Amino acid sequence: MSAVTLKNIVKRFGTFTAVHRTTLEIPEAAFVTLLGPSGCGKTTNLRMIAGLLDPTEGEILINGKRVNDVPIHKRNLGLVFQNYALFPHKTVAENVAFGLKYRDVSKAQIAGKVRDALDLVQLPHVGERYPKELSGGQQQRIALARAIVIEPDVLLLDEPLSALDANLREDMRVELKRIQERIGVTTVFVTHDQSEALAMSDLIVVMSEGRVEQVGRPEEVYNTPASEFVANFLGASNILAAECVEHGKAVVLDEATFGRVAVPAARAPNLTGTGKAKLVVRAEKLLLARDPAPEGVISVPAIVGTVDYQGQAVRYFVRAGEAQLQAINMIDERPFAAGEAVHLHLRPQDCAALPG
Ligand SMILES: Nc1ncnc2c1ncn2[C@@H]1O[C@H](COP(=O)(O)OP(=O)(O)OP(=O)(O)O)[C@@H](O)[C@H]1O
Ligand SMILES: [Mg+2]
């Protein structure tokens, strides 16, 4: 059974539709991420699950029960928001205990549960401190402890790491994932950060303009994007106009640039037949080389344009015939320079194809 179900959900604010008819199943104990650009409706969906917003149409089910008319405090959910501030005049322990206040839990039990929650977020000794005496990352851990102390059926997290600096953010995502796995709580996580989504999720729900574009495991949405939007949002892709000439084997002809590309059928699930198609070439699968490629690898000549250093990798903008392409390659001892003539290597099995 799904822990959370959105059934034909629509959300309108006045005449503006923030969420178009959406149906979504969140499996029990899964870590599911709503991923998409600003304004695509992630928070709106989360707030409807939480009971902070009423859907205009449709039903929300938690553990199989319709909750449209169940108020927030009766839904047994844990919430952490980007700036869900702790109560500044309460101690950390009082903050964590707050969620238990309206529950039938004795004082002694509360102390034990607060201790367990602080242990879980690895801050066992800060119970007597006040929030302002903690770092941003520590405060977010306390917010998480407050959300999980009630043993929620579902944990709802809206960009909980976005206020943290880059290094801390990476540590916290490992930590958050560890805690989620440890307690096995169904989690709906909202982010617009694709690397966060790829690293943490069992399932990613890619959203655009109030619609679900694709639902899949991280490697699925990454390797087999269902749309041009998904291909571009998860990493950088080159998308080339092409022609499918042999459906079933999904052989795609992109005459101008790469010629005949035998895309595996599994990487083109939405191609329904021969005819117009789009070839998706991920920037990190396009390799610049000094020599032509070995047998079985496509090789085309190109000229390097802009070179953009990114630390461990370089982003090259190259011209191959009429096409402007981007390639992201790991840095080797001698990176390529602007103006240099190179060979672009591409393995057909690394490509995906979309309907044209
Ligand atoms: N209370 C409201 N009244 C009117 N429009 C709203 C309201 N809340 C959200 N919207 C609009 O609905 C759309 C979706 O908003 P939402 O907050 O769900 O986006 P989001 O995906 O969470 O974006 P972000 O990544 O910026 O947080 C936006 O266009 C927003 O302006
Ligand atoms: Mg939001």
Report H helices in the chain.
42-50, 92-97, 107-120, 136-148, 166-183, 194-200, 218-223, 228-233
Across 129-154, average pLDDT: 92
pLDDT given for residue 87 in this prediction: 93
**Ligand nearest to the CA of residue 35, numbered in listed order:** 1
pLDDT given for residue 14 in this prediction: 96
Q: Do 221 and 204 form a contact (C-beta atoms < 8 A)?
A: yes
Residue showing tokens 């802009």 = 306
pTM: 0.91
User: Does ligand 1 come within 6 angstroms of the Cβ of 22?
Assistant: no
Give the mean pLDDT of the chain. 93
User: Does ligand 1 come within 6 angstroms of the Cβ of 13?
Assistant: yes
Tens-digit pLDDT profile for residues 294-336: 899 999 999 999 999 988 899 999 999 989 999 999 987 778 9
User: Does ligand 1 come within 6 angstroms of the Cβ of 41?
Assistant: yes
Across 175-195, average pLDDT: 94
Q: Check whether 254 has a pLDDT greater than 70.
A: yes
- Least confident range from 78-87, 142-151, 207-216, 255-264: namely 78-87
Which stretch of DSSP H or E encloses residue 327? strand 323-330
pLDDT given for residue 273 in this prediction: 87
What angle is formed at CA 14 by the lines to CA 10 and CA 19, rounded to 5 degrees? 25
Contacts of 279 (CB under 8 A, 6+ apart): 239, 240, 241, 242, 252, 254, 258, 261, 263, 351, 352, 353
pLDDT given for residue 239 in this prediction: 94
**What is 2-223's CATH topology?**
Rossmann fold (3.40.50)
Q: Check whether 84 has a pLDDT greater than 70.
A: no
pLDDT given for residue 283 in this prediction: 95
For residue 7, name the pLDDT band (cuts at 50, 70, 90). Answer: very high
Residue type, 61: L
User: Does ligand 1 come within 6 angstroms of the Cβ of 318?
Assistant: no
pLDDT given for residue 333 in this prediction: 72
- Least confident range from 16-20, 181-185, 249-253: namely 249-253
Residue showing tokens 């047998």 = 295
Across 213-226, average pLDDT: 95
Across 194-203, average pLDDT: 94
Instruction: Enumerate the β-bridge partners of residue 252.
Output: 244, 261
Q: Check whether 63 has a pLDDT greater than 90.
A: yes
Q: Whose CA is nearest to atom 16 of ligand 1?
A: 41
Report residue 15: phi and psi, to 5°.
Answer: -95, -5
pLDDT given for residue 75 in this prediction: 92
Q: Which residues of 256-291 are buried (b: 16+ CB within 10 A; e: fewer)?
A: ebbeebebeeebbeebeebeebbbbbbbbbbbbeee
Rg of the Cα trace of the chain? 24
Across 15-34, average pLDDT: 97
Q: Check whether 249 has a pLDDT greater than 80.
A: no
Q: Do 4 and 62 form a contact (C-beta atoms < 8 A)?
A: yes
Q: Do 148 and 178 form a contact (C-beta atoms < 8 A)?
A: no
Across 236-248, average pLDDT: 90
**Ligand nearest to the CA of residue 14, numbered in listed order:** 1
User: Does ligand 1 come within 6 angstroms of the Cβ of 206?
Assistant: no
Q: Which range in 63-72, 159-168, 325-334 is most confidently predicted, on average pLDDT?
A: 63-72
Across 169-173, average pLDDT: 87
Give the C-alpha separation, 328 to 235, whole Å.
Answer: 10
Tens-digit pLDDT profile for residues 86-115: 999 999 999 999 988 878 888 889 999 999
Q: Check whether 149 has a pLDDT greater than 70.
A: yes
Contacts of 93 (CB under 8 A, 6+ apart): 114, 118, 127, 128
Q: What's the DSSP call for residue 154?
A: E
Across 337-344, average pLDDT: 96
pLDDT given for residue 256 in this prediction: 85
CATH architecture, domain defined by 236-355: Beta Barrel (2.40)
For residue 268, name the pLDDT band (cuts at 50, 70, 90). Answer: very high
DSSP 300-320: EEEEEEEEEE-SSEEEEEEEE
Per-domain residue ranges of the chain:
2-223, 236-355
pLDDT given for residue 252 in this prediction: 85
Q: Check whether 30 has a pLDDT greater than 90.
A: yes
Residue type, 111: A
Q: Do 197 and 233 form a contact (C-beta atoms < 8 A)?
A: no
Q: Is 142 helix (H, G, I), strand (E, B) or coil?
A: helix
* Ion ligand 2 contact residues with beta carbon within 5 A: 43
Top mutation candidate among 15, 40, 81 for ligand 1, by most atoms within 8 Å of CB: 40
| Distance in Å, CA 270 to ligand 2 centroid | 30
Across 129-147, average pLDDT: 92
